[in-house]
Structure 1
Amino acid sequence: MADDPVVIEYTYNASIDKVWTAITDKDQMKHWYFELEEFKPIVGFEFSFKGGKDERTYLHLCKVVEVVEGSKLVYSWQYEGYVGRSLVTFKLSPEDTRTRLTLTHEGLETFPADNRDLAKENFAAGWAYILGTSLANFLAKT
């Protein structure tokens, strides 16, 4: 369904502490996510970054809305100059010595339907690459 969130799950050969640090430390995030000027896993902390494809980039405006230390991070996700607001949730769960990360990106239907860059399938493909390739490779090297 169009209103269903993107939900992606990966299990990493890494401890929860290691994965938590990777998703909350700006110096580590720049190696697998986006380069952020600043990031703090504190409710109310606002951050932004540019991203996109080809010649079209978007300023992402985000605000941390929930933190459960070591297990859950939630932030809002909007675009400067566009209507819509979504939520990104990272949830970590232990699996023996490994960590399962479940990412949920909801509210995508609030973005302009006439902008194909903001289509649900692009978010699904982007998160699959970010988590399945970039973060997986980063965690394997550290």
Structure 2
Amino acid sequence: MKDQIELSITVRAGTGEVWHALTDSDELENWWGEGIKLEAKVGGQFREKWEDDDGQAQMASGKVLEVKKSKLIRFTWVEKSWPKNAVTECTYEISEAGPGKSALTVRHTGWESLPAAIRSKTLKDFKTGWTYHLKELKEYLDF
């Protein structure tokens, strides 16, 4: 699938530790930054507050669609600035990757719901963002 982001990291942490870092509010803010929330239950809320390059407040939100504790969480992602019917979907998949190690794959799909005029730039910006956040998570868990 062309219009998707798929990135993976391997960390020196068990799957439970990775899950905790992704879903516990305090842990999540430790490596992602303030204003992030992901409730690890079906119907739970996803929210990210951030500022764009112009210093304008932005908001992403979504709803949790699927949860398999310490293995998978799938949720929708909608930006406040996007057209009303534009919805993307994120999946975090966690698996064992050897003694004391875990692999995390982030898959972000649904970009075809964005207008063609903004799709390519938005996809590029999100790939940059996900690359940054996964680097931060790896540094946080590998300490």
Per the normalisation by structure 2, the TM-score is 0.85
Q: Counterparts in 2 of 1:5-44, with a 5 A limit? A: 5-36=4-35, 38-44=37-43
Q: 1:109 matched to which residue of 2?
A: 112
Q: 2:70 matched to which residue of 1?
A: 70
- Is the alpha carbon distance of 1:129 and 1:81 closer, same or farther for their aligned partners in structure 2, counting shifts above 3 Å? closer
Aligned partners of 1:37 and 1:77: how far apart in 2? 13
> Do 2:112 and 2:119's aligned partners in 1 also have CA atoms closer than 8 Å?
no
Residues 1:119 and 2:119 are matched in the alignment = no
Measured against aligned partners, the alpha-carbon deviations of 1:31-66 in whole angstroms (never above 9, x if no partner) come to 222434754201001232222431244210111111
- Is the alpha carbon distance of 1:125 and 1:78 closer, same or farther for their aligned partners in structure 2, counting shifts above 3 Å? same
* TM superposition outliers: structure 1 runs of 4+ over 4 Å: none
The number of equivalent residue pairs is: 139
What runs of 5+ residues in structure 1 fail to find an aligned partner? none
- Is the alpha carbon distance of 1:121 and 1:37 closer, same or farther for their aligned partners in structure 2, counting shifts above 3 Å? closer
Question: Percent identity over the alignment?
Answer: 28
What runs of 5+ residues in structure 2 fail to find an aligned partner? none
What RMSD over aligned residues (CA atoms) do the two structures have, in Å?
A: 2.1
Q: 1:88 matched to which residue of 2?
A: 90
- Is the alpha carbon distance of 1:104 and 1:116 closer, same or farther for their aligned partners in structure 2, counting shifts above 3 Å? closer
Aligned partners of 1:70 and 1:4: how far apart in 2? 27
Per the normalisation by structure 1, the TM-score is 0.86
